[in-house]
Structure 1
Amino acid sequence: MARSRSGRRSRNSNPSPRGAPALFPGAGVSPGSSARARAEWAGGPLRLLGRWKGRGHPVVSPVIHLEEGRWRSGARGGSLWSGVGSQVHLQVGRTEVVRSSLHPVFSKVFTVDYYFEEVQRLRFEVYDTHGPSGFSCQEDDFLGGMECTLGQIVAQKKVTRPLLLKFGRNAGKSSITVIAEDISGNNGYVELSFRARKLDDKDLFSKSDPFLELYRVNDDQGLQLVYRTEVVKNNLNPVWEAFKVSLSSLCSCEETRPLKCLVWDYDSRGKHDFIGEFSTTFEEMQKAFEEGQAQWDCVNPKYKQKRRSYKNSGVVVLADLKFHRVYSFLDYIMGGCQIHFTVAIDFTASNGDPRNSCSLHYINPYQPNEYLKALVSVGEICQDYDSDKRFSALGFGARIPPKYEVSHDFAINFNPEDDECEGIQGVVEAYQNCLPRVQLYGPTNVAPIISKVARVAAAEESTGEASQYYILLILTDGVVTDMADTREAIVRASRLPMSIIIVGVGNADFTDMQVLDGDDGVLRSPRGEPVLRDIVQFVPFRELKNASPAALAKCVLAEVPKQVVEYYSHRGLPPRGLGVPAGEASPGCTP
């Protein structure tokens, strides 16, 4: 099962902007054919289907790598490994063995937590096994393996890679295909309205005072109260007020889970008189409502047992049913939403002469500087969600050739027509090549770059689709000098598909930068206009200086999934391929 995470969630918790996938090695392997493996992950369920052509008894072994390090596992039969840290590896599981098949399909399902802000490396290995299917593959013949990240599978939904032998040699023409499916369940809430007619009269001198209770039947057959309506006084044909309940509370996100409705005659002393009951499921309720037949006999089992002519103690009618879908971050990513990454680098003089080892821009061949650490940590995550792997790289605060005029918005590859670089490595190379060609100057103005990215995001907004979201990473060594303009630019950007991450490098006092991060209050423009959404995350690099790149990325990107969902929910835009806008009621059915 896949979960998306705005926080780490359990399998049955309400979905957050992140997810959990499950890995299903569901295919076999054989030279010259594609392998399928099914997988589900937390943050969003995934199914991985693998196929392999060859001889023997195949097992596919998915391996999950949560930070740095390598994974091992076995297949033609398969196993799943998980690891935290560069040397710690944990095998999570292994598929069943499919015997004597050149195109095996594995049914084993693995569940893995998915977190957008972490690089989660996976490795699938295929083995020809000769003995009982155990957890170890030491005695089996290695047929090939494939590595990828969980983010790549989430973003593409299907990843096909060749199987490689040791030392990177191709395993013939064998390949494996990994398919991802979100299994986190239906996110959202249900709006229900009940009425009844011709209920039994339980009172001597007046009519019944009915109320209705809705229960969920748990796995142990115990009843869990979901909702109790108000009491309608002195009425045998009550109309109860509509109520809302999460799908998780109603049926644990299982639409076929039994539900039970009980109708009572209210008694002020607490000795309520039982009128009747009926059983149904949310699936049945939806179907009946769509067909205009959403009514049930309210039956008292004792009366039914004693009287042959007994039919019911009234009829309960489902007057209205609306399902409000709440989409998750995984829904948008797996719907094809691309994350476009832009980095803006501070080239002001306060960084120090790049030729001096004390400079924040000093290029040490053995140790990346703080700018590079932050850039690579965040960029490595974002690149998995951008299909063309091209990233805009901008600079500000420097005098640039040929006239050496100060610019607060220039392409560090010096191509004003195309400021994009090939991959994160391309951005790193452009940054290193840029340093000797510019003169560090000032001031530290970032509003021009925010406005530039906002213009691109505004063009995307006009498409009316959840297809492109923009992340701007600003790396700076000091407090911005155009604070008023920056606040204005952020307020405007808060209405666009865009998030801003500011990383403060060096030892400057960044206290004044905290105002841009809305955690302590609502950011307002100089005119008093508030941000529509909190889109800024500020992180002083020194607080994470000794942490791993993974920890830095996790801290910096943790809010992005929530911001993505907030934007598209506010616009009422569903993930591509789903026709019901986010949060809009779908009468009687799940969108």
Structure 2
Amino acid sequence: MTQAPVKQLDPDSLKEQVQMFLSVQDLVSKDLLSKSDPFVVVYMKTQRTGRFEEVGRTETVKDSHYPKFAKEFLLDYFFEEEQELRFDVYDEDKSSKNLKDHDFLGSCHMVVGELVHAPGQQLVKQLLLKGKTIKNGKTKMYARLTARVELLGKGTQEDLTFTFAGEKLAKMDFFGKSDPFLEIYRYTKEQTTLVHKTEVIKNTDKPTWKPFSISSQKLCNSDPERPLLLRVWDWDSDGSQQLIGEVKTNLNFLRNNFKAELENPQKKGKKVGTLKVVDLKSTVAYSFLHYMAGGVDMSLMVAIDFTGSNGHPLNPQSLHHLTPQGSQYQQAIRTIGNIVSCYDSDQKFPVWGFGAKMPDGTVSHDFALNGKEDDAEVSGIHGIEEVYVQAIRKVELYGPTLFQSILQKAIAIADSAHDNVKQKLQYFTLLILTDGVINDFKETKDLFSVLSFKQRKKYIYKQTVLSKAKPFFWCRVLGS
């Protein structure tokens, strides 16, 4: 059996992850004596059911018809799929997760693809209530929702913990001192996006806000030179707020004992106070690609179900039925194997079968498909298919479905690699292809428990080192 060589797959070609931020304009008021307290619920239509499922909710912004939400939504963008989003806007009436307890203000739909490809990656849609547009009686403008996305930053991601403080903040209230809070915005071209808002500290001109954590991806899209806007406001009980002062900076400046004079465009030349970073802690958040770049070798192991429940290979309904396109098992081998094998440097993979009656009449739950019990490796994904097709023609589908022996062999290989490897880092993936029911579920579960303990004791997580040898078990269930 021949097959084209394995293609080198770019992982980023499968999807792009985007951040989405929301704001709403010209909302109508549902409350008699105050403005609305809006929040947005985001849904995405699933490919499997065609139904909308909740992705998440924004925070509630009090007393505002023009809310800008700090909550970010991380979405996986697939070029080949139509990913429809629905945005439902509510006025919060009570502390309840039940949406029936809040006033519905309107809804709109977008497709992730059109949002990604819109000018500036931003779309504005009018809100509809019972199929009709909604007009703000005061501004005579239609209520709208604005969504904006950015591709996830490709730079090194960090988990940052900030402590900010103010000094000699200007007095904004007639009686008493200000009630300051801090907002942090990041710039996207000429626009700003709110990424964090601190608590309000009442009646002080020298606040120290509580430490807060934020990812560098959310703060500045992991770009330390990305401009940031820091604004200090005075909170008022009527829902309004007055700008005390602001300063433009970036993450690199914030790292370097940051302390800056605030400026108020309405009070040019007047001192309105100082903002400083009291403390900043940073931890690198390594991604899968960081580990790959750090030298991790991803080794694939495969186990295939040869139990009778799959159906006789001559039966067209059997998962082992061989066609010119290959059986369903072959298709799964290609689909998954071609992805994982890209990271395996030697392109040699151990392949076992389980649940078959061998030509000598014995039943085996861990036989090497190449017939070499002391060396079950084959070359390339095409090699896996070749030994699979040879085996399906030699053995009899039998049973039961037992995983324990296969798992023990996989663990032994990973342990051996861990004990013998010097510099090269390895991450083992065991791909189990099966039609479903596991007959030794308890034994398999117990083995996973032992393995979990061994990983905590034996495998080291340090900087770019994922592990010396860490088995990962991936079970693909075929059929309905």
Q: TM-score, normalised by structure 2?
A: 0.57
- What is the CA distance between 1:468 and its match in structure 2? 2.4
Give matches, 1:116-515, under 5 Å.
Answer: 184-203=154-173, 205-220=175-190, 222-270=191-239, 272-286=241-255, 288=256, 293-301=257-265, 303-305=267-269, 312-349=271-308, 360=318, 366=324, 368-400=326-358, 405-435=362-392, 438=395, 440-458=397-415, 467-477=425-435, 479-493=437-451
- Residue 393 and residue 534 in structure 1: after superposition, are their counterparts in 2 closer, same or farther (change >3 A)? closer
- Residue 492 and residue 460 in structure 1: after superposition, are their counterparts in 2 closer, same or farther (change >3 A)? farther
Q: 2:391 and 2:242 mapped to 1: Cα distance?
A: 82
CA contact (8 A) 2:431 2:474 kept: no
- Percentage of matched positions with identical amino acids: 36
Name the SS for the 2:278 alignment partner. strand
Q: 1:493 and 1:444 mapped to 2: Cα distance?
A: 21
Q: Deviations over 1:77-96 (max 9, x none)?
A: xxxxxxxxxxxxxxxxxxxx
Q: In the alignment, residue 410 of structure 1 is paired with which amino acid?
A: F
| Structure 2 residue aligned with 1:72 | none
- What is the CA distance between 1:204 and its match in structure 2? 5.2
Give matches, 1:91-110, under 5 Å.
Answer: none
Q: Deviations over 1:399-435 (max 9, x none)?
A: 447x754321121222222111111222233334445
| Pick aligned residue for 1:9 from 16, 30, 38 | 16
Q: 2:237 and 2:319 mapped to 1: Cα distance?
A: 77
CA contact (8 A) 1:461 1:496 kept: no
Name the SS for the 1:211 alignment partner. strand
Q: Gapped runs of 5+ residues in structure 2?
A: 1-8, 22-74, 81-151, 456-470
Q: In the alignment, residue 540 of structure 1 is paired with which amino acid?
A: L
- Residue 280 and residue 369 in structure 1: after superposition, are their counterparts in 2 closer, same or farther (change >3 A)? closer
Name the SS for the 1:212 alignment partner. strand
CA contact (8 A) 2:180 2:235 kept: yes
| Structure 2 residue aligned with 1:540 | 478
- What is the CA distance between 1:388 and its match in structure 2? 0.3
- Residue 199 and residue 404 in structure 1: after superposition, are their counterparts in 2 closer, same or farther (change >3 A)? same
Q: Deviations over 1:434-491 (max 9, x none)?
A: 4565455432212210232133335567889993222222233563322222333345
| Structure 1 residue aligned with 2:460 | none
Q: In the alignment, residue 451 of structure 1 is paired with which amino acid?
A: Q
CA contact (8 A) 1:396 1:408 kept: yes
CA contact (8 A) 1:217 1:260 kept: yes
Name the SS for the 1:269 alignment partner. coil
Q: In the alignment, residue 281 of structure 1 is paired with which amino acid?
A: N
Q: 2:472 and 2:296 mapped to 1: Cα distance?
A: 20
Q: Deviations over 1:10-52 (max 9, x none)?
A: 55569xxxxxxxxxxxxxxxxxxxxxxxxxxxx9xxxxxxxxx
Q: Deviations over 1:160-198 (max 9, x none)?
A: xxxxxxxxxxxxxxxxxxxxxx97344344322101223
Q: In the alignment, residue 241 of structure 1 is paired with which amino acid?
A: K
Q: 2:209 and 2:280 mapped to 1: Cα distance?
A: 13
Name the SS for the 1:268 alignment partner. coil
Name the SS for the 1:448 alignment partner. helix
- Residue 390 and residue 264 in structure 1: after superposition, are their counterparts in 2 closer, same or farther (change >3 A)? same
| Structure 1 residue aligned with 2:27 | none
CA contact (8 A) 1:458 1:496 kept: no
Q: 1:407 and 1:245 mapped to 2: Cα distance?
A: 53
CA contact (8 A) 2:431 2:476 kept: no
| Structure 1 residue aligned with 2:67 | none
CA contact (8 A) 1:341 1:382 kept: yes
CA contact (8 A) 1:211 1:264 kept: yes
Q: How many residues align?
A: 330
- Residue 540 and residue 396 in structure 1: after superposition, are their counterparts in 2 closer, same or farther (change >3 A)? closer
Q: 2:370 and 2:396 mapped to 1: Cα distance?
A: 15
Q: In the alignment, residue 295 of structure 1 is paired with which amino acid?
A: K
- What is the CA distance between 1:391 and its match in structure 2? 0.6
Name the SS for the 1:380 alignment partner. helix
Q: In the alignment, residue 432 of structure 2 is paired with which amino acid?
A: I
Q: In the alignment, residue 242 of structure 1 is paired with which amino acid?
A: P
CA contact (8 A) 1:457 1:496 kept: no
CA contact (8 A) 1:360 1:371 kept: no
Give matches, 1:521-532, under 5 Å.
Answer: none
Q: 1:313 and 1:12 mapped to 2: Cα distance?
A: 34
CA contact (8 A) 2:431 2:473 kept: no
Q: 1:212 and 1:464 mapped to 2: Cα distance?
A: 50
Q: 1:341 and 1:494 mapped to 2: Cα distance?
A: 19
Q: In the alignment, residue 539 of structure 1 is paired with which amino acid?
A: V
- What is the CA distance between 1:230 and its match in structure 2? 1.9
CA contact (8 A) 1:344 1:449 kept: yes
Q: TM-score, normalised by structure 1?
A: 0.47
Q: Gapped runs of 5+ residues in structure 1?
A: 15-42, 44-65, 67-181, 498-532, 544-591
CA contact (8 A) 2:434 2:477 kept: no
Larger fraction in strand: 2
